[in-house]
Structure 1
Amino acid sequence: MALTRFERFLASVLRGAVGMLFAVFQLLAQRRGADRSVRRLPPITNPLLRVPAMRLARMIRRREVTSVEVVQTYIDRIQEINPSSMFSLALQEAAQVDKLIEEETGGEDVLEDRLPLLGVPFTVKEAFSLQGRLLMAGVTAGVISATDAPPVALLKRAGAIPLGVTNCSELCMWLESHNRLYGITNNPYDLERIPGGSSGGEGSILGGGGSVIGVGSDVGGSIRIPAFFNGIFGHKPTSGVVSNVGQFPPASGQQPGFLCTGPMCRYAQDLLPMLRVMGGANADRLSLSSEVDLKRLRFFSVPHDGGSPLVSPVDQQLVLAQRRVVERLEADLGVKVQQLKIPQLKYSFQIWSAMMGQPTSFAELMSDHGKKVWPLWEMAKWTVGLSKHTVAAIGLVLVEMFQRSQPTQFILQQKESLQKDLEELLGTDGVLLYPSHPHLAPKHHHPLFTPFNFSYTGIFNILGLPVTQCPLGLSAEGLPLGLQLVVGKQQDRLSLATAVFLEKTFGGWRDPGSIATATTQLDTWLDTTTTS
């Protein structure tokens, strides 16, 4: 079916709106130097930074290392690459952990059962409440959090120690973690590229070795896209398992059914225990303790969305990486991976956009102490550097002015048909391989020219299916490759087990500072990865 007049109009408006910016970005790129060496992080030298979270917890319980040593090691790494951060509270909590272990008489097993993450540092997306920290989501009208969001509280209750909060896109609704409060966050594999959004600061600090586990949220790919761009693991759980309470902006309308809070980490083995902790009693629905025999699962591979005119073609390196996954699954597990075409995926953006209509407008959320935002006036101010908002956020308000109030019957039919077909296909033992994004991590601001590419992740929020993003090594440019593992509702353990297999097979996360390419002395890593 051809695009509707509205969709053609919307696409042309957006292309026109960002087209005037292209010359500016091209000029900036030329001034930086087209043949400039790729700027990456300094390599990781302390071996503690290469230990998964659950193993760190075991080492701390066994007194092989103190929590103070672990926390200080991560603080040193963050200060090496983002020297503005302060961590006195985290060190105090680590000292209390070490004292608790010293005084514990019940043995290691008692501590493991009661406090499985005791002494392990973690970071939190700035859109979540963390007691005593600013909750702003990149806008000026923020507040100091008096409490912790439930997933954060559960991690703290399990013994984990928060290091701080990480940068996000303005109002958590864009692929680039950039706002006028904290600035722009960079990708650790190439500082000229984006870390994704909206959990981009979280993805960046994890990918750069400044944290080992973290908390993200995802309403259109905001866990999975940053996990992909930064070469780490991220999991969007079955809808409703992990609480979304304590976030800003709050979900409204139908969004609470699509928004998911989930774990982000460098090591696949940490995903399941993190999900168990963050889900609390709800995690019992997922049977996470049940063994998974990968050889008895059914695997499917869908290489692209079918060719939506709104979305970029999938990069050939990602196509080949997914093909290698198919080959290894078949060779190592003895399974047969069935390649499929799912025609409804072509309408992923239209389905996501139609279902995401929100009663609370972006203009209201962007308002400063009740002062209404006029998008055309804000765009004019932005061109002369006087707006408090990013061009992406202003653009979202402009799009909102033209957005349909109700989805078409055709799009509703595509959504229902896709939901039915995928749930029947996956059942309780199916795993679907699907690209995480059509591009490798883009350069800064380039998503303005391809605003609908998040459709590869966003469609699964609408369908409520759990998805795990897995790194698959590096591209020719030294950028992370990856793919999504999609499973049936409440079958999260299947994608998590497959992620562990793929980590062993393809090597998982790679230290961006150890990539054998030219590097330069870095002035900064993330202007704003962590905020204090």
Structure 2
Amino acid sequence: MSVIEDSNTQESEGERSGGGHHRGHKHHRRTHRERTSKRGEHKSHRGERGGTSDTDQSSSRRRHRRSRKPSKMGSFWANLLASLLIFVHIAIDTVLEFGLGWYLGDKKRSPAISSDDQKLCTKSAVELAKLIRERKLKAHDVVKAYIDRMKEVNVSLNAVVDGPFMEALDEAKEIDEKIASGQLTEVDFTKKPFLGVPFTTKDSTSVKGKLHTLGLISRKNEKSLVDAECVRLMKEAGAIIIATSNVPEVNKWSESRNSLIGQTNNPYDTRRSAGGSSGGEAALIAACATGFGLGTDIGGSIRIPAFNCGIFGHKPTVGAINTKGCTFRTGKEKETMVVAGPMCRHATDLMPIFKVLVDPEMSTDLKLNEEVDVTKLRYFYIPSNDMPACNPVNREAQSLMFKLTRYFSDLTGEEVKQASLPGTEISGKLWRYWMTREPADFNKLLGNGANLNPFVELFKKIMGKSEFTMAAIYSLIDGLLPAEKAPLMEEATTKCSEALAEMLGDDGVLFFHSSPRTAPFHYYPLVKMMDFAYFSIFNVLRVPATQVPMGLDSKGMPLGIQVVAAKNCDRLCLAVAEELEKEFGGWVAPFENRN
């Protein structure tokens, strides 16, 4: 079962997650409880699963603690080791930040919008489509503005693999002519909700006639013969593809770097990682070089780049979107963590794009046309995944979680309950195990069909002769390490999945940290890589999760939060994302606007 903590434990839990909340938080909780108690009979357990009250749960926990009766000496050593581990994490993080910051030089950001024509590039995809339909904007002007912007920012971001596609201008011009001549009816506009809006997708997702390299030198000239299903659907909806974007080799790393294109830079600080594997997409979207993008996610590949680059990204329920054409998928895989999903600057674009992409067989289960009242949902949060290999959650991330929970407490009149899930402390192991159950063979994908010898590739790397990055070689070596024990991993997954489903039901939402810290410098994950487990646990559980930007930290890097719901409850994630955008502002431009 999930554990839902009494609100009185929130302070101590926050401290355990890596340093505690700021002063004044405890006072707020006290005054908030006083305020809510004056409202009369407070429905503290609306929709509680199993009818268990807070009093019952607190009593049960006290009995459980009494039955264990840990020795004072044992508790002392456990706390000492935990404190020592936090100190080691902070020390390594400090050294890496200083060393890599010195090595990579001065901070640089994405260039500002350079002309009045490019100002439209900040608009949402839905707004652009509306303006094109109403003849207030021409599709040709929109596409040209994005192409010009892409050429301008790619010099510093290095995010484009193939493109921009100049034939997109001809396609846009044809759309303008049809609108001007009245050839398109309201029915046509309804069938094509994104008519004339430019979009991009990652290189690993096939686009007919365009490069399909997967970041491999051995595939540098390979082109796709057909569109991936998600690309086909967006084209049918009227959107215009203008480029494909950079990925790590065969998508398996948290940075977008390969030996063919190089590394993609973060538009907020080009010394820092854009994330992976949809890093090229996130960088282009954040820098206003595309209307929106399509990503894929097997271990955070939509949400890590969305977090690093301060945009929205939705990882759907597994099976909601057909993945045919995404990294050689057939779309018929039954046991997989892979999903495709939308990435964009504005939360209001998420649902309209998602509706275009959803598999018709899933539409009924997802209930996307059902209105969501965010004031009537139940909310939970988890302060840390308690995984020793992850960094401790830093103070700015903790403060963000506090602000968010306080807002939804005030919005609903209910406490946002602190919770925990069994198994999150082994999130990395769970994901590693389930990756071995995926139909794709990473070794063969990396070798473009041939098996690679990790030791040979490592030796070649040392000699400067390898075609692969160190990250790819790490993954090859990982394949030689002892496998996770299947019975233990499957049992832990089942317990965690059942606990989450019981906690959330069909009206619950979980707030979960995106990462203990904001986007790291390039190469940082080669030393400390496990923070991705904050994302990958929801791939293991096959549930929907939306990455939401939540302003910038003291270094000017994007903060964010994951919004999680039960299977097929994607609509809850997307509705809460829109509410967060309204209250906290959403995407923040990585450049200063010029008047």
Q: TM-score range by the shorter chain?
A: 0.7 to 0.9
Gaps of 5+ in 2: 1-91
Q: Which has the larger Rg?
A: 2
Q: Distance in 2 between matches of 1:318 and 1:171?
A: 31
Match of 2:126 among 36, 40, 54: 54
Matched-pair contact (CA < 8 Å) for 1:472–1:480: yes
TM-score by length of 1: 0.87
Runs of 4+ off more than 6 Å:
22-28, 251-255
Question: Is residue 2:326 matched to residue 1:268?
Answer: no
Number of equivalenced pairs: 490
**Residue identity opposite 2:592 in structure 1:** S
- Kindly tell me: are residues 386 and 324 of structure 1, through their superposed partners in 2, closer, same or farther at Cα, counting changes over 3 Å? same
Q: Distance in 1 between matches of 2:334 and 2:535?
A: 15
Question: Is residue 2:462 matched to residue 1:383?
Answer: yes
Q: Which is further off, 254-263 or 492-501?
A: 254-263
C-alpha deviation, 1:324, in angstroms: 0.8
Q: Distance in 2 between matches of 1:202 and 1:250?
A: 20
Question: Is residue 2:548 matched to residue 1:470?
Answer: yes
> How do residues 242-261 of structure 1 correspond to structure 2 at under 5 angstroms?
242-250=321-329, 256-261=335-340
C-alpha deviation, 1:150, in angstroms: 0.4
Q: Secondary structure at the match of 2:265?
A: coil
Matched-pair contact (CA < 8 Å) for 1:419–1:463: yes
User: Could you tell me which residue of structure 2 aligns to residue 412 of structure 1?
Assistant: 490
User: Could you tell me which residue of structure 2 aligns to residue 40 of structure 1?
Assistant: 109
C-alpha deviation, 1:356, in angstroms: 1.6
Matched-pair contact (CA < 8 Å) for 2:422–2:495: no
- Kindly tell me: are residues 233 and 513 of structure 1, through their superposed partners in 2, closer, same or farther at Cα, counting changes over 3 Å? same
Q: Secondary structure at the match of 2:476?
A: helix
Q: Distance in 2 between matches of 1:391 and 1:416?
A: 34
**Residue identity opposite 2:213 in structure 1:** M
- Kindly tell me: are residues 364 and 252 of structure 1, through their superposed partners in 2, closer, same or farther at Cα, counting changes over 3 Å? farther
> How do residues 368-379 of structure 1 correspond to structure 2 at under 5 angstroms?
370=450, 372-379=451-458
Match of 1:222 among 285, 294, 301: 301
Q: Distance in 2 between matches of 1:251 and 1:225?
A: 25
Q: Distance in 2 between matches of 1:314 and 1:28?
A: 21
Matched-pair contact (CA < 8 Å) for 1:295–1:333: yes
Q: Secondary structure at the match of 2:431?
A: helix
TM-score by length of 2: 0.78
CA deviations over 1:385-442 (Å, ceiling 9, x no partner): 21100000011000101141x6343332221111111011111100000011222101
**Residue identity opposite 1:259 in structure 2:** V
Matched-pair contact (CA < 8 Å) for 1:135–1:248: no
Matched-pair contact (CA < 8 Å) for 1:177–1:195: yes
> How do residues 154-173 of structure 1 correspond to structure 2 at under 5 angstroms?
154-173=233-252
Q: Secondary structure at the match of 1:144?
A: coil
**Residue identity opposite 1:402 in structure 2:** L
C-alpha deviation, 1:484, in angstroms: 0.4
C-alpha deviation, 1:332, in angstroms: 3.2
**Residue identity opposite 1:283 in structure 2:** S
Matched-pair contact (CA < 8 Å) for 1:300–1:340: yes
- Kindly tell me: are residues 57 and 124 of structure 1, through their superposed partners in 2, closer, same or farther at Cα, counting changes over 3 Å? same
RMSD: 2.5
Gaps of 5+ in 1: 1-18, 517-532
C-alpha deviation, 1:373, in angstroms: 2.1
C-alpha deviation, 1:368, in angstroms: 5.3
C-alpha deviation, 1:252, in angstroms: 11
CA deviations over 1:171-191 (Å, ceiling 9, x no partner): 101001000111100000000
Q: Distance in 2 between matches of 1:43 and 1:362?
A: 39
> How do residues 461-500 of structure 1 correspond to structure 2 at under 5 angstroms?
461-500=539-578
CA deviations over 1:324-344 (Å, ceiling 9, x no partner): 111111223434211112242
- Kindly tell me: are residues 369 and 433 of structure 1, through their superposed partners in 2, closer, same or farther at Cα, counting changes over 3 Å? closer
Matched-pair contact (CA < 8 Å) for 1:141–1:369: no
C-alpha deviation, 1:309, in angstroms: 1.6
- Kindly tell me: are residues 338 and 136 of structure 1, through their superposed partners in 2, closer, same or farther at Cα, counting changes over 3 Å? same
Q: Secondary structure at the match of 2:149?
A: helix
**Residue identity opposite 1:293 in structure 2:** D
**Residue identity opposite 2:532 in structure 1:** F
User: Could you tell me which residue of structure 2 aligns to residue 455 of structure 1?
Assistant: 533
C-alpha deviation, 1:136, in angstroms: 1.7
- Kindly tell me: are residues 255 and 374 of structure 1, through their superposed partners in 2, closer, same or farther at Cα, counting changes over 3 Å? farther
C-alpha deviation, 1:288, in angstroms: 1.1
User: Could you tell me which residue of structure 2 aligns to residue 138 of structure 1?
Assistant: 215
- Kindly tell me: are residues 129 and 368 of structure 1, through their superposed partners in 2, closer, same or farther at Cα, counting changes over 3 Å? closer
Question: Is residue 2:381 matched to residue 1:301?
Answer: yes
Q: Distance in 2 between matches of 1:243 and 1:157?
A: 15
- Kindly tell me: are residues 106 and 250 of structure 1, through their superposed partners in 2, closer, same or farther at Cα, counting changes over 3 Å? closer
Q: Distance in 2 between matches of 1:191 and 1:255?
A: 39
Question: Is residue 2:365 matched to residue 1:365?
Answer: no
Q: Which is further off, 319-328 or 193-202?
A: 319-328
Higher relative contact order (CA 8 A, sep 6+): 1
**Residue identity opposite 1:65 in structure 2:** L
Q: Distance in 2 between matches of 1:79 and 1:387?
A: 30
- Kindly tell me: are residues 385 and 292 of structure 1, through their superposed partners in 2, closer, same or farther at Cα, counting changes over 3 Å? same
C-alpha deviation, 1:93, in angstroms: 1.0
Q: Distance in 1 between matches of 2:294 and 2:141?
A: 22
